[in-house]
Structure formats: structure tokens, C-alpha cells
Chain A
Amino acid sequence: MISSGATPFSFMNDRLYLEIPESALEPQNQAFSSPGAAWQARLNQMSLEAILPWLQEERAAQVWPSVAVLPSFWEVANGTAIECEGMRLVLLPSTAIDLQELRVPQEWVDIPHWSADYYLAVQVNPDAGWIKIWGYTTHHSLKTKGTHHDSDRTYSLDEDDLIQDLNVLWIARQLCPEEPLRADVADIPALLLPQAENLLERLGNPEIVFPRLAVPFQLWAALLEHGGWRQRLYERRQGLLNSWSVPQWLQSGILSLAGQLGWKEQILPLAAQGMRNPAERLNGLSRQLVIAGNLYELQVFPRGNPADHIWRFELHSRDADRCIPSGFKLRLLTEDLQPFNHNEDTAIEAIDQLYVDVILEPGESLVWEVEPTPEGYDQEILNF
């Protein structure tokens, strides 16, 4: 029996060991469709909590796209992405003790939106409470030297072909910055809405044990590349339907995930909206955004007669004295990311607020975007 916290063997090989913090060893209350996915999520969580604070000691690093949506990645594929000084690193935890290969799900390599600069091989020893980063490679090496496996849709690279010392990563950035990090990847053709709905219907069934292998990669990749669909897939596999309904949130409260992402109910003083009676107040939603280091707020609220189904999306600075700088854009898109008439507002000069009014039939959905991209942005499908 191994006592927790102690290392079973003195570390004989001297690569970097990091401690898994207690918080990551405690049971997590995230839902997954299978024991394998739940375990995969645990391993990723442990690696992340051991590695991220260590990285942050010396450089700016944060989870991509955001901590709250990680379960929707872990449900379908191994790996956790971290953005660090303009580069993306993907942690690939494994409990394998033989350290013979790094195996990377194809999603992290061939989906343009997901692909990264570096891939880190992480051994996790949960009993002893440590992780070890035992090697890494680049996107370029995976694509040029790695082996692609059709049967489980992964790229693998042998231990001998990895760079063993993680210190080399930072030093190489400094001393040989011209070294190629990425190989080309082809764009993935976008899905049409009915295609996506079909896939969600089919792959959202938790009885499909390997959804990532159940349809051709191009279709699967296109589904995942859309943050809103990836999230929906995850929720369906947990039996959650329609958890992104704005009218429902306003009626009965915001569900936990949207809450974690920062959505909250807000009583909006209507004076600011130019209504007749300044005392009149209205229920709306708001979400804080960080853009280029400053705080902004995105608000969503109904306007006018409820029967007209008019909704306003409005962006303004959190700080009353600050304007929205010129060049900022607030844009609405259909669920399958198509533009429509009068779907965006641009700050031609510094301005108090940006807004778009839109008429939505009940059941219609939208995706919002802001330029420049807010920190931790991931496409969200809001249902009306």
C-alpha cells in the first residue's frame, strides 16, 4: 500500500516533477458520459493544476479557451491547452509508466482552431501525487516525423524523437526563433446547420462510446471547431437539452455553466436606454469581458413590446469614464456563423457603447462576437 503524498520511489530519473495540489485530488463534480471520460478529465485536471501555477511563476499563461468549458473538451478527447506568451501548449496526460510514446488525438493537430505549437508529454501518478513532464514536441515534428494512426485517429511520436528537456523549449524560442513550429493544416469545410443538427442528434447519444471515431474526421472536426456545437455535444451527452435559452434564464435563473462563464442576471436601469419613465427597470443578462486588459460588459435584454421579440446586444466599458476605443466591433451571427443584415456595430471613433438590435423568433439562435477577441472567448450559441 502506498501512502498518499509520499513518492513511492526516490526519483531516479531527474526530469521535472511537480506536485499535484490537494484541490485537484479531491472529487470533482463535473458530469461525463463514461467512466473513461471522467478519468481522462481527472488526469487533465491534475496536470493542469500542477503545471499552470508553475508556468505562471515565470510567465503569463492561461487556459484556452477558458476553464469553465474544459469538460466539453475532456468528454471527447484527451488534452488541455494553455496559452503562454503567444504560443499554445497542449498537455497530454497519461498514466502509462513506460514512457515509450507521446500520443496526440488528431483533433489537437488537424483542427486549425485547436492546433498548437507545442505538445507536452505528461506522466501522472495520482497515488503518489506528482506529475512529470518527460518530453515535448512541436506541431511541425508531429506532422513530419510522427505516425498517424487511422484506427484511433492519433498522431504518435516515439520517446527518442521527443525533446526531453523542457528548458530547451524556452531557450530555443530565444536563441533559434526561426525554427518552424507549425506545419500546414488544411481548412475544415464548415457544416450546414441541418448537418450539424444531425450530428448532434446522433453523437449526442451517450451510448455511442467513441463519438470521435463514429463519423468521418472532417465532419467531426467541423462540429468541434464551432465552440457552441462542441459545448452542445457535451451537454447532450450528459442529457442536458436547451441549457442556453435566454428567455428561460430570465424566467428561472441562469444554469451553472453559463454562470461559470460569467453570465448573470442583471436589473438594468432603463434611464440609460432612453425609456420614458426613468424609474422603470428591466430584467436582462450581462457578462463581463476582458479585452486588451480592460473590463467591458456585454448586455442582452428584450426591448419594447414582448410580442415584437426584439432583443438588444450592447457592449460598454465597465468603467463609467472609459469609452469603447475605435475599431471595436460587436457582431451577431446565425448559429452556423453566417452574417445577416445589420448584424454588426463598429466603433468608428471612441464611443460610449456599441449595440445591435435584432428580431428573433422564439427558438432562433445566435452567436455573438466582439473584435478584438475577448480573453477566453469561445463561441456560444444563445437560444431565444
Chain B
Amino acid sequence: MRTRQGLLENFSTFLQFQGDSFGGWVIDPKLRRSMQTCLSQSPQEESEIFWVLYWHRLWQTPARLLASAHMTAYLQEVCYWVSRKLALKLTGHHSTADFFQTASASIDKVLKNFNPQLGSSLKSYAELVLSGVIKNQVEKQQEVKLCNDWSLLHKTSHKRLVEALQFSGESHEAIARYILAWNCFKALYAPSKVQATYRLGKPNPETWQAIAQAYNTEQLSQFSSMQASSPESLERWLSACAKAVRVFLYPTTISIYTPILGQETGELLDQLSGNLHESLLAAAIATEELEIRKTQSAQINQFLITALTQLDPQAQTLLQLYYQQGLTQQQIAERLGVKQYVISRQLNRLRKTLLLTLAEWSQKNLHISLTSPVLDSMSNILEEWLTHHFSSAVAATESL
């Protein structure tokens, strides 16, 4: 892969695929113009970290779309390497390009919970979040493949179904009707045995009758117009719901940047100017803070290394197997001759101990004011740190 050069390129170009691997960098003209404007207005700001904080700050303003596009450009390498690594690692046939699309479409998720205050870098945070997103996606796809339609309807959330129906172009009113039909279905048809939830049989005619009856009664209170619906139409609608959910799981070619930047450049830059000054200032302050945090980050590192050595040998072995050798909980369980749940619980307890020590230490030494969301990001940072700490241990051993 050719490395990108300079701030302008880093924040305004996108990776192109050739087959399933790196093909080159494409310039997005709108993003390039926007970045050029910014750089010309603040030529003294030459650090990458400044611009990361700047766009992260702007992402929280009405200029969110533009900021999100710049950040997506900035995180292209992370998206690529995460996707490539997982495509090779996960069993089954996965393409790097597909994973890359999923990752690129999830940048907002990264930006939403990124907390620069805690001294973590956006790139390593993004790596953790995006690899979670991809793994989740694969897990879901595998599960959905195992389900027939009737099971799938029980394994879909309300929100997901609404999104799937919106994606397939249904109107607001139609979606409300589908949802009502789905609720009637779930109330009157459910698995009766615990261990057959992937292959639910088709409801029998009496059940369809009952579902239609419930639908017809309920629609009176929900809709202004009344259409008596037959059991056959209910069956058709619910099949359509299941189909929409399946299709939505593999959204075909989300173009990587055009849809997020559909607006006119002028409009975007207008939006920008209002927030520009304040955000520049905020980013400048944040960068200064970040310098302090960098020192703190070294302290955190030292603190965690010490905390690790204080764990008992059994705990250390477990962490090594999991983070250093990259074994799954299942593999560790097999190796140690216990059930997977035992490992899951032990790891959970260890993480809790480490998180508590880290939180107490940061409160006291870094004067970070703790809230649940801060603790939650700290938990992610800890995860990130453990992953890196142990994998660099591997690298060190290998290089010997």
C-alpha cells in the first residue's frame, strides 16, 4: 500500500479496491477543497492530532456530515487493515472489500464514543470499535443464515425491522402496519420448545386466523383508515418483513463517500464557517491538553504494567492465552478442560479488577472526574491496552 503524504491527502482521499486488495487512493474534490480552506486559514496548525481533534469537535456540530466524511477519509488505513486481518482470521469466506465497506460505514459509531480526554488515540480506538462491528456483523449473518423466516421474525429487534422496511422503501404508514402485524404474530405464534428456535414451523391456518383477527381489532385504535385484512395477507406481509430483514443484512454496495456528501459544497462550507472559529479554538486547547495527556498516557502504561504483575499466576496465564496467543474463550476452555462460561466469567472478573484499579488511580492521579460513560470508555481503553500490551510482547519474542 502506498502511504499517504501530508494532512491534505490524509483528510480528503479514499482507498480504492482492485479486486480484494489495495488499488490506490482517490481524491474527493469536495473534501480536498474543504481541507484546503481549513489549512489556509490556520497554516500554523501542522500536527495531525490537531486536525483529528478539530474534526471530532466539528462532528458534534451541525457540520457533522462534513466532519464525518473527513474522518472517514482519515481512518481509511485503519478500516483496511482491520478488514484484511479479520478476513484472513475468521473462518468462512469473507472478502476484505465487504468488511471494509462495513467498517467505513461505521465511522460515526467510532466518533460518538471516542473520548480524547483519556489520552487514547483515535486510530487505536477505531481499530477496536471497527473490529467489534465487523465481528458482530459476521456473527449476525451466520445466525440469520440458520434461521427460516418465522424464526427470523423472532430474532429481529423492533428498530432493525423498521430500518429494514425503510431501506426497502416502505412508507411511514405501511411500516406502522407491518409492525402491528409483526407484534400480532409474535403475541400469537412463538416457539413452544426451547431448543428449536432456528427452525420454527409455519403457523397453521388457525394461528393465521387468530393473527388476522388480532390485527383487525388493533388497527381500529392505531390507524385512521380501516382495512379488514385476511389471514393470507398477514402471511404475505410477514414474509415480506422477513425478506426485508434478510436483504438489509447485506446492503448492496453502499458507496463509500458519495452518499455522506450529497450536499453542495457551498452549503457545507457555509455550515462550517459558523462553527469554525470556536472549533479551531477548542481543538487548539484540546491539543495542548493532549500533550499533557501524552505524559499521562505513559504513566497509565506504567501503572497497568505494575498492576498486571500483581495478579496471581493463574490470572496472568489466562490473560496471556487470551490476549497474547489470541485464543478464543472456547479454545482456552478446551485447553484448560473447563466450560467456556467459566473462562468468560474469569475474564470478566479480571477485567473488573483491572478497571477498578485503573479508575481509582486515574481519579486520584490524573484528576479525571468519573462518570459511567467515562468508566465505559476506560473499559474500552483497558481492552485496547491489554490487546496491544500482549501483542507487542509477542512481537518482541518473535524478533529475538
Binding site for B on A (CB under 8 A): 2, 4, 7-14, 16-19, 25, 34-40, 42, 46, 54, 94-101, 103, 126-127, 130, 138, 151-152, 154, 156, 158, 160, 163-165, 167-172, 174-176, 179, 209-210, 213
| Residues in chain A near residue B180, CB distance under 8 A | 151
| Residues in chain B near residue A97, CB distance under 8 A | 139-140, 143-144, 155-156
CA distance A175 to B364 in the complex (A): 11
Contact between A175 and B360 (Cβ–Cβ < 8 Å)? yes
Q: Flag B317-334 by CB within 8 Å of A: 1 or 0 each.
A: 000000000001111000
B184 within 8 A of A: yes
Contact between B373 and A2 (Cβ–Cβ < 8 Å)? no
| Residues in chain A near residue B179, CB distance under 8 A | 151
B contact patch SS? helix
B190 within 8 A of A: yes
B196 within 8 A of A: yes
CA distance A179 to B374 in the complex (A): 12
| Residues in chain A near residue B187, CB distance under 8 A | 34-37, 209-210
Binding site for A on B (CB under 8 A): 90, 109, 112-113, 132, 135-136, 138-140, 142-144, 146, 154-160, 163, 176, 179-180, 183-184, 186-192, 194-198, 214, 217-218, 221-222, 328-331, 339-341, 344-345, 347-348, 351-352, 355-356, 359-360, 363, 370-373, 375-376, 379-380
B213 to chain A, nearest CB (A): 9
CA distance A120 to B176 in the complex (A): 27
In the complex, number of A-B residue pairs with CB atoms less than 8 Å apart: 181
One of A8, A18, A101 near B341 (C-beta < 8 A): A18
Contact between B183 and A152 (Cβ–Cβ < 8 Å)? yes
| Residues in chain B near residue A103, CB distance under 8 A | 157-159
Q: Which residue of chain B has the shortest Cβ distance to A57 in the bound complex?
A: B345
Contact between A164 and B191 (Cβ–Cβ < 8 Å)? no
| Residues in chain B near residue A179, CB distance under 8 A | 371-372
Contact between B372 and A176 (Cβ–Cβ < 8 Å)? yes
Contact between B194 and A126 (Cβ–Cβ < 8 Å)? yes
A contact patch SS? mixed
B383 to chain A, nearest CB (A): 8
Contact between A160 and B198 (Cβ–Cβ < 8 Å)? no
- Which of A10, A42, A98, A209 has its CB near the most chain B CB atoms (within 10 A)? A98
Given A11-B340, A156-B159, 5 more pairs with CB closer than 8 A: A2-B198, A11-B328, A151-B176, A151-B222, A175-B363
Contact between A175 and B376 (Cβ–Cβ < 8 Å)? no
Contact between A7 and B330 (Cβ–Cβ < 8 Å)? yes
